[in-house]
Structure 1
């Protein structure tokens, strides 16, 4: 990516070395030192960074790997970068290992939380949009081309195809805004030209956005105005957004920087909503969550802008969020390497963002999936729903240059399918001919079917971003149900319904606690009184004894191993008496149907014998009662 944010979005002057990210030169020096066998945390960090921030991930993996092998105290950020670089080369298993390491050292970091809460994200991304085709566009050059927007019958984009002096970051010319024109009778765009000589300068210009009436545009440029290049207090040249007004002769003029620009931070990559009253952009201004965040600002009827508002930590992470795009429906697309993705920058969407943001509804960030996203950098999403055209930028392999622009047709690909299987919860055997019912969020039945002999079911044509409940039912079983919300992209969801048998066989020797799924009847340490929670469970035993008036049971009470054998025998007998008394006095059970005995610590169910260190919870497992059927006459 030629003009994004890197480490708080700092764009460095061209005469700097390592600390200015002119990595192509300094990496050679670092390599020489490392290849001579020298090792240090600082060396491998800088060498790994040199390749990581220049998108040479195979080399970044090598040197970050050397860094990890030192087994020294390492900044946890390098665990994240190593994981991202591994993901970039599609080594997902190893990437997950280092993301786990990153999460364990920074449990409050949203990137780690996203990883831990998205265990199956890869399967979703890999399977999504499988029939979706993208094309490398003909006008791409051998250098960097990125960041499209439509204006009339043209595509406006940034390119290093110009003839200016080289920019040391990637040894390519500085970026200019270019245009290609849609050909009559064809869907292709051709004839790249310098877009506007009043807009383009000797420094970077990129990412334009146009008001719907075509009279005003916003664009990104280095901090260069009135033929003067400005830098911050560290001699770093930042990015700024400029506004231009269309002149009578058809050229752009009255170019001015927007009021919230600042020499000390960058603002860049504008996008305007369909109403023309909101501008979205990326910045590392004070208050930013991470390296760069997405912001929104009001556009007044005069063309002036209001006060920027950060879009918040559901969208913004500790890493980079950039290249926002808001479509005609109010869906917000953006690039991020902080949310879980395939590697590098991925493109994400918040469907119905404008509506949900205005109503303070929950925002859901969704990865737009393959083939738009890849293990490399994917960014600069743009679509026109009216012409059904879409574009994005990627530096994936087999392109024509550094960054290339890809095109696709914007079809409605939100086709949801839910399929699954019905099984016995305890045995996991399939349950043929079970009834499966699909409900909407309000509980209204949408569809029902009977699972076949293989116990499988399938529902199709579900809506996107909608909550559903699916329930499995079968005679003699307790129903099971799962609630889920469909995403904003195509998905095949698999659900397993586990039904618990309601009719269970009871024979001599059966433990009622096991049959009725009764949790262990616990006693407090050194106590024999029935807890309130235990009394509730004993009601189930009472109900069974009343249902089967000839059933007799043997109540067996146990203690943990603490205290002496003699003491525990006495304690278990007191507990046994308490349990039987409760069944008689509260449940009205005939005493002749009940027998019992205390077994003390003689029948422990774990290793917590005398002298073995155990937790309170482990000891408590042994303080229990059992209810064994001894007669069914």
Structure 2
């Protein structure tokens, strides 16, 4: 469901595009060509040829594990454990989970038993000890609802319910007949009309609320307690006339209607609405003195914010944005306020499970919002979940969702809340961090970051334009943070939150899995090769060096026209003459190994540069740490042709 979509038109200048294309074609062709190096496929080809290393098998296992291919993950983790039976808590746990997901339950249980024995303080082991199906443990805010279909859904879009006079009022697109008619520009949904049905009957026949329906969109109706006034959302259409914005769009407005002599009449747009912005999804405060709604009016923080406006008889105050505590740069919509000073709303800006999630916050005497929490994975799903209403006395209510398994595009579900939300927020923690490229340290916006507790996904977040992510977390708990981005290897980090309020920083650096290279690039960076290891004062290829060179060999095999210039450097220790000779022997040994393994000699050049290419201050006579000297001892595989 797309409840707020704003469509802009981009006009392309064909002449400029043509001119730019000619300029590109006139550039040096060597720099217009690229090679795309898939590191994981290279690792797999090397493993199939018999190369073995812990790093190799960890990367292969993780590549499949994080893509939910548990059979292949188990295959490569098994190879890892054959080399090292104790590679660490995370790999032991992932191996067990991969085995279990692949149907090897007995072996998985054995590994988990060993896991519990080796890592006694890890809560996952303790949970396994208590319950072998601990992955089914419900997250803190979940497991509190009994949910079922509301019994009024069609194969079209049905959403946005309100209860009045023992009837459920809702919006439905069922009368459009098909999905090619009447699409509402602001919501992106098929045009809806208002319907009502008895709340206690399953599969009851719904009736149109004809008095308010037009040929355009109506939705989100709210009755006053006396039943004499309704507020609702409609396209900018009144008395047969359609209003348009400056950009020629028909948006949506909040309307009010009055019941006189048994008929709904005096339908008017509320005075703070406009042809040039949208107002929608009204909700009344319990005392009916305040109207809450969603809008993209001037002053909005994100794509849509939640506002409130005072009601004084038939007049209204100035709309007030509820502020950054509740509104984000994303979408906040479908507010609902209860007599317990709770405000429920849908948002895709607050950390959630995906799409729109339903949240709740506390409203204090001044109207300020605090203690916002996600309602959990019963109400929320990876899809859009919204339009939540609840009776504070019975704890029964309704919400809308386009989750899998529904009857139509959106569906209405009814629920019983069986356990209240834990609102103890004496200890507050924020977990945040910067997502970067491990090689270049460049920030990585638009990275999916997921927070896990006991291997259950709690929340997801897309890193912002500055590469930052942020989660509200509980004090004293251990979490796993997984970062995923196209062309990068998925990475998961573990963090234990302090027992006191504050902020916890967890930066994550991702390694490239797809490496785009061209002439002038160092191919070694695709695999994190900073040096080819040789024994002290020798130039013989060691097993560790052979594994890294095999990665280069694989890329050369996949790209038969690629040519390399291989450069070997030393640090400044020992004499210049000695370092020049040693580095030259090592560069030639590297070339000879590649030639011996099938690379044509005319594709390779190279020599040693000794200490002439220092990358830091560590020249003769300067005191430096070993780590600084190591930066200068490096190998480069410079691409000179593709």
TM range (shorter): 0.3 to 0.5
- In terms of Rg, which structure is larger? 1
Normalising by structure 1, report the TM-score: 0.46
Which one scores higher on RCO, CA 8 angstroms, separation ≥ 6? 2
Normalising by structure 2, report the TM-score: 0.46
